[in-house]
Amino acid sequence: MQTEAFTELFPLFNAASQETLEWLLSVAVSHEYPAGRAVLMEDSWGNAVYFIASGWVKVRRLSGDKDFTLAILGTGDFFGEMAILDESPRSTDVVALSSVQLISISAQRFIQTLFKDAQLHHRLLQLMVRRVRGANIRLQLRRKAPAIKLANTLVSLADQYGQPAEQGRDIFNITHQDLADVSDITVDEAAKIMEKLQEKGWLAMDEGQQLLHLTGLKQLSHLAVQG
């Protein structure tokens, strides 16, 4: 992969120096996982940072024989950095929702790069702060109606990872359970709201291609800020 394509795919490296990019590409390792495969396991020690070259994953926390989806990540994002930065076992695991192509950089080399390239270090902090702000927004929505919560989730996924389409944007066809977990609503509420949104013509499912067409993104964005 050329450095230009690397920076275009992964926003984290927008500010990295050319030297940094060339070195990271020389030590990066590619991986492929099928849908349903666990990529990282909870309680394992962090030994690498992973970058999503294509596909979708979910970050989940296990509790006994149950699991709860904390976040959904798509192409261009990354995970595994927290276990490296605080040198502790991972508190969550990551599962492929679709077939996924990942690029990994070992913990030692990634940390070395952060020390050498101040701009990359700063960019990483910016993106981590954005994640914290996203978590704060979800907390502020706790008392909002389920439809508003779910609309926020869909709009956020479309903004971060959606692919342009003839109408709106396309995202992965995420299960009602995962949408419910991330939106902090029940799975029954998620199913009913998704059905209503389809009836309104604001979204359409393409199960064959595993896509969710957000055709009424403007309306969803308006719903997301109500209340």
Contact 46, 90 (CB under 8 A): yes
Do 53 and 67 share a domain, yes or no? yes
Distance between CA atoms of 5 and 9, rounded to whole angstroms? 6
Do 123 and 153 share a domain, yes or no? no
Do 13 and 107 share a domain, yes or no? yes
Do 33 and 123 share a domain, yes or no? yes
**33-61 pLDDT per residue, tens:** 999 998 876 546 668 899 999 999 999 98
Looking at the chain, the whole-number percentage of residues with pLDDT higher than 90 is 70
Range of the domain at 211: 143-224
Q: What is the mean pLDDT of the chain?
A: 90
For residue 169, is pLDDT > 90? yes
Q: Which of 77, 82, 23 is nearest to 48 (CA)?
A: 82
- Tally of domains in the chain: 2
What integer is the mean pLDDT of 191-197?
97
Do 149 and 123 share a domain, yes or no? no
* Cα 73 from chain centre: 1
Do 124 and 156 share a domain, yes or no? no
Do 122 and 217 share a domain, yes or no? no
**Which residues of the chain form beta strands (DSSP E)?**
29-33, 38-40, 48-54, 57-63, 66-73, 78-79, 93-96, 100-106, 163-164, 169-172, 204-206, 211-214
Could you tell me the CATH number of the domain that includes residue 120? Answer: 2.60.120.10
Could you tell me the CATH number of the domain that includes residue 190? Answer: 1.10.10.10
Amino acid identity, residue 3?
A: T
Contact 73, 57 (CB under 8 A): yes
What's the pLDDT at 56? Answer: 97
pTM of the model: 0.90
For residue 208, is pLDDT > 60? yes
